[in-house]
Chains A and B, each alone.
Chain A
């Protein structure tokens, strides 16, 4: 079976140099920030694939490249066999674009305050010049709001309701893939539960595929079928959700899981992780995790580990063996 999303050797470099004059006067070199470095993964149809990582791990940058908001520096993304960067057939491009939608983190910033909710929701369809009669009403009811809400403005809704509107907008063009970038991070726990339940139901009913981007391991464990763990722009481990949580192999994954708060952790004394994420402009040589790794050896400082198949998953570490 062809995967719905095929990401190959994806890299993205940002130029974060100071302006030309400063560089000359202060004798500074150009500065390049490698946000994503050689990341490859597949997402099967109807799968929930989660990318987890801390800030600066490149998870949002990957999301933006998958939907085509940002061109990759190297590598390519194919959605249903179509590469948006190189495809020349306008019909295929339109079709691929329509099949990808995105839900953003902040439901306050991602809705135009001057538009009525009905117009916001049908915009992806209206932009293609298609008929939108009754569409907004149907979608609002599908996401648990009332059809009468079409003529309201976003400020009349709470955060959770706004995120439902964002979901309705994403559904309007009947996408196959929805990229969800921290969709519940701005919401309260009880509202987060409502939104996560809605997203699970919609996925089942409509056969959707999600690329779920989050830092919240609890949400990942709840939602994901397959998980990719990112560190400093690199994929360090990928496995099925169950086996990853049962048996994390990469030392970074182990550290992350150990650091995450647990509900049964009363009086637990944990050794907190050492150090912080290094500067992505000057990443460490070899394995990017070696300065914080409890089991690092000399080879880790010299050679960047390949992502190797171990068990059913993939791990990028010199010292992990099957």
Chain B
């Protein structure tokens, strides 16, 4: 359990996009921390705002999307109000990024050695030779065999899994304190996915780095994450230690998500489906965004958006009627 200091602290983050139909809020009041040496899994279905929150942290929101409210702190320092030049020093140096598709994350016309040394020299005061040595070390660390020879290869000469390793090396070469991995294994095969998850866990443990792992895959969360944040329609439905949240979900949406996952239900029984689909960000229902699909919805859910409640030491849930075996005295 992380007793260490918070690397990333997000408070009341709101991302707004002005559209013809009015302001849309794909991220609507999200708060969480990621601690040193910890993997926080951010899980949700498409449109839940999980990637948008990650992009807001590294300042990669596509205009006109913008941070309308909230505070983002990296190691205690505010980074949400930095200008472009200042943000460039944070991005890559202090926050690394890994995206879903390793092929589009690399420049197909440059040798991977050049891409690595360019990144290293942009952030660290090294000469070309030292940068090259560091590039070799970075490739070795992510498990690329014959790293020194592979520096002169182009991205197309690598397989999908190896490319994703190169992208991770690229993200880590300036030794960031936070890594944001947005669906890093979605494009990969199961056996390669297991390799990349093992790599992320090892790097996180060895370097004490904080990792934000954004994914839609509950199985990946169960394998990799220490804590999990479940997002629904731009808000945090539930956050807590992964074993607690997945085995005893307190939010009806988390429970529905677990019931829908074929992994969790054994054999050929019917999957426990949630009716309907997630509302679009521009068309959120009043009150709790989940109430039209919720079997436990009561009048309060239609009128008031629930605030996060503590359910345990690190476990909180945004629901008026959380699922609990015995009502806990921790209910505020």
Contact = CB atoms under 8 A, between A and B. Distances in A.
Given A193-B259, A263-B246, A273 B195 contact: yes
Given A190-B257, A221-B262, A259-B191, A264 B222 contact: yes
Contacts of A55: 160, 189
Given A218-B262, A223-B268, A190 B222 contact: no
Contacts of A256: 190-191
- How big is the A interface, by class? 35 or more
B223 A222 contact: no
B302 to A, nearest CB: 21
Contacts of B272: 193
Interface in B237-295: 242-243, 246-247, 256-265, 267-268, 270-274, 277-278
A265 B190 contact: no
Interface stretch (B120-128, B211-219, B308-316): B211-219
A261 B263 contact: yes
B222 A54 contact: no
Contacts of B267: 221-222
Residue among A55, A160, A189, A273 with the most chain B CB within 10 A? A189
A21 interface: no
B220 A261 contact: yes
Interface string A190-213: 111110110010000000000000
A189 B260 contact: yes
A283 B162 CA distance: 19
Given A188-B46, A193-B259, A259 B271 contact: no
Residue among B46, B190, B192 with the most chain A CB within 10 A? B190
B243 A260 contact: no
Contacts of B82: none
Given A160-B277, A191-B277, A265 B257 contact: no
A121 B259 CA distance: 31
Contacts of B246: 263, 266
Contact of A215 (B189, B262, B273): B189
A262 B274 contact: no
A106 to B, nearest CB: 14
Interface string A273-299: 100110000000000000000000000
Contact of A54 (B45, B190, B220, B262): B190
Contacts of B197: 261, 272
- How big is the B interface, by class? 35 or more
Contacts of B257: 189-190
Residue among A188, A190, A260, A262 with the most chain B CB within 10 A? A190
A135 interface: no
A20 B20 CA distance: 55
A222 B190 contact: no
A91 interface: no
B191 A196 contact: no
Contacts of B270: 197, 200
A258 B159 CA distance: 22
A272 B192 CA distance: 8
A270 B46 contact: no
A150 interface: no
A121 B223 CA distance: 41
A255 interface: yes
B260 A192 contact: yes
B222 A261 contact: yes
Interface string A245-264: 00000000001101111111
A98 B217 CA distance: 37
Contact of A190 (B45, B159, B190, B223): B45
A197 B190 contact: no
Given A189-B218, A215-B190, A197 B161 contact: no
Given A189-B216, A215-B189, A222-B268, A266 B222 contact: yes
Nearest to B201: A269
B271 A193 contact: yes
A89 B234 CA distance: 59
A263 B258 CA distance: 9
Contacts of A189: 45, 216, 218, 257, 260-261
A70 B127 CA distance: 56
B23 interface: no
Nearest to B260: A193
Contacts of A125: none
A268 B223 contact: yes
Nearest to B275: A194
A93 interface: no
Interface of B: 45-46, 159-162, 189-195, 197-198, 216-220, 222-223, 242-243, 246-247, 256-265, 267-268, 270-274, 277-278
20 contacts: A160-B277, A188-B46, A188-B216, A189-B261, A190-B45, A190-B278, A193-B272, A193-B273, A193-B274, A194-B273, A196-B271, A197-B273, A200-B268, A215-B189, A218-B262, A259-B190, A262-B219, A263-B219, A266-B243, A268-B223
Interface of A: 54-55, 158, 160, 188-194, 196-197, 200, 215-219, 221-223, 255-256, 258-268, 270, 272-273, 276-277
**3 nearest interchain CB pairs?**
A261-B219, A193-B260, A259-B194
